Structure 1
Amino acid sequence: MKIIDKVEKVVELIHQSRSIVIFTGAGISTASGIPDFRSNNGLWSNYDPLKISHVKRVYEDPASLFSFYADRYHEFSTHHPNEAHKILAKWQQVSLIHKIVTQNIDNYHQQAGAQDAIELHGNMQVRCQHCNRLLPASRFSKEYGRCEQPSLEIDEICNGILRPNVVLFGEELPEQTFNQALQAHIEADLCIIIGSSCSVYPANSLPKQTVLRNNGKIVIINKGTTDLDYLASVKISEWEAVHTLQEIDQRLKENV
């Protein structure tokens, strides 16, 4: 099928759907200058994720873990949401799509104007491992810190370890967050996957639920192959996410 025909098919599926969930991965943010994880030039080509981003680091070497994610925060804060994030936010604002579920921790969906994006793998806040108090991402620095007891009535220090508020290797997804994402996919009759290889479990089990539980459809927009290609009604790999969404958005305008 020609690429233009694929775009037209996606537009047709969008018009036919009553509830659409968007599922995004690192590939949607590459146009913002943020590297993905598993491509040849991805982040994990330079780091061993099981060493640098494993939950064991919280206890064995929290300073280096904090420093690694301080670098990620600096990277995210010096780049910005791209047109793909902005188009999705606009679609949500006009109720064309209903939920955005993301594997990303860069906060770009919210910065672009999306509401209540479900962040499967956390975000760039700082969290105390002991008392779970959340602190702003601006607290990231190269220096390893400590967390003060949040209760103003107690004049003592929690002394808990500060860590990134992300799901590390060796940790399970937060149950409430996963259930929210699961419900969004069950309710949808169309899931559009953007910039994800769909290789990370259990996140990659979510789009399947749109098909299995609601007899819905899956569209995949991703440069490489994914583990869910076999379920896709349409797979667009010829164009990057930004160009693809711009073309879809233009045709949606023409068909109003």
Structure 2
Amino acid sequence: MPDTDALADLMRDSARIVAFTGAGISTESGIPDFRSPGGVWTRYDPREFTFDKYVGSAEVRANSWAMRKEFLGNTPAPNPAHLALAELDKAGRSLGVITQNIDGLHQLAGSTNVVEIHGTAREVMCIGAAPVAGTPDGCGFRADTAWALDLVAAGTADPRCPDCGGLVKSATVSFGQMLFPGIIEASTDLMEQADLVLAIGSSLQVFPAADLPVHAVRHGAQLAIINDEPTPLDSIARLVVTGRAGEVLPPTVRSALA
């Protein structure tokens, strides 16, 4: 078990905590990540899942629905790390969570202010009949992902928007797709208010998201990294705790809130 005393001290002395989370916080809920052996991209070719290819190919869309079914197929639930962050929220010590994940587990755990940089796999959206330049151009239709997966299971290989007939896509940011409007601004605003940023389960290698903890440090926040491998930002962190989020966070939060 990693030593959590120093981390608990940092959290105890902080009133405006922001969590920045990556895939490592959700692998403990059974969600495969994208880079590790056995991860999603060992079974699907990421070069086939660009926004433009999704728009241009019914086959790519069919493969995308298969991947989405695999991603959500085990009905993942929040794990102790998600629940620990929700406890910080409940105690009034958290400004919010900024996540690179698309699984919605922070909200299910009880965190109330969650900025999803890459969107959510729990919903689908209309992107229009022929969007260009990596920018969705739909009519505004959204639905639970189960709506689309049920259609696929019933034999509709390429679900269309029931309102305008446009293409339907997971409400996530694909390769080559523009980030949703306002996401970086909302994330930056939280980082500028933070006095402590907890970077949890993130490789801190995916940009522009990985710049956000750096931005917080420049604005006076302390950075604590909880990860099971070294990251490029370890050198600017006040504290680095090596370990799994589900083992590190629960006892640390309990101690900090005691």
Q: Please tell me the TM-score bracket, short chain as reference.
A: 0.7 to 0.9
Cα distance, 1:27–1:34 mapped onto 2, change above 3 Å:
same
2: CA distance, partners of 1:3 / 1:175: 39
2: CA distance, partners of 1:57 / 1:103: 23
Percent identity over the alignment is 33
1: CA distance, partners of 2:195 / 2:62: 40
1: CA distance, partners of 2:109 / 2:117: 18
- 8 Å contact kept, 1:126–1:165: yes
Tell me how far 1:122 sits from its aligned partner: 0.3
- 8 Å contact kept, 1:220–1:234: yes
Query: Which SS does the other structure have where 1:17 is aligned?
Result: coil
1: CA distance, partners of 2:233 / 2:26: 20
2:228 is aligned to: 223
Q: Deviation digits for residues 39-89 of structure 1, max 9, x if unmatched?
A: 2332223333222x2111222224533542454345435221111111111
2:41 is aligned to: 44
Q: Which amino acid aligns with 2:14?
A: S
> What is the TM-score with the length of structure 1 in the denominator?
0.87
Cα distance, 1:15–1:250 mapped onto 2, change above 3 Å:
closer
Q: Deviation digits for residues 114-164 of structure 1, max 9, x if unmatched?
A: 113111100021111112321221123233111122xxxxxxxx2201111
- 8 Å contact kept, 1:66–1:163: no
Unpaired segments of 5 or more residues in structure 1?
150-157
What's the C-alpha RMSD, in Å, of the aligned pairs? 1.9
Q: Which amino acid aligns with 1:167?
A: V
2: CA distance, partners of 1:251 / 1:94: 13
Tell me how far 1:207 sits from its aligned partner: 0.9
1:113 is aligned to: 110
Tell me how far 1:36 sits from its aligned partner: 1.3
After superposing on structure 2, the runs of 4+ consecutive aligned residues of structure 1 that deviate more than 4 Å are none
Aligned length: 240
2:159 is aligned to: 145
Tell me how far 1:14 sits from its aligned partner: 1.1
Query: Which SS does the other structure have where 2:210 is aligned?
Result: helix
2: CA distance, partners of 1:11 / 1:31: 22
2:206 is aligned to: 200
1:212 is aligned to: 218
Query: Which SS does the other structure have where 1:115 is aligned?
Result: coil
Cα distance, 1:69–1:13 mapped onto 2, change above 3 Å:
farther
2: CA distance, partners of 1:46 / 1:148: 31
1:153 is aligned to: none
1: CA distance, partners of 2:158 / 2:12: 51
1:168 corresponds, among 159, 166, 174, to 174
Tell me how far 1:249 sits from its aligned partner: 2.4
Q: Which amino acid aligns with 1:144?
A: D
Q: Which amino acid aligns with 1:226?
A: T
**Counterpart check, 1:55 vs 2:51:** yes
2:22 is aligned to: 25
**Counterpart check, 1:247 vs 2:251:** yes
Unpaired segments of 5 or more residues in structure 2?
129-138
Tell me which moved more, 117-126 or 168-177.
168-177
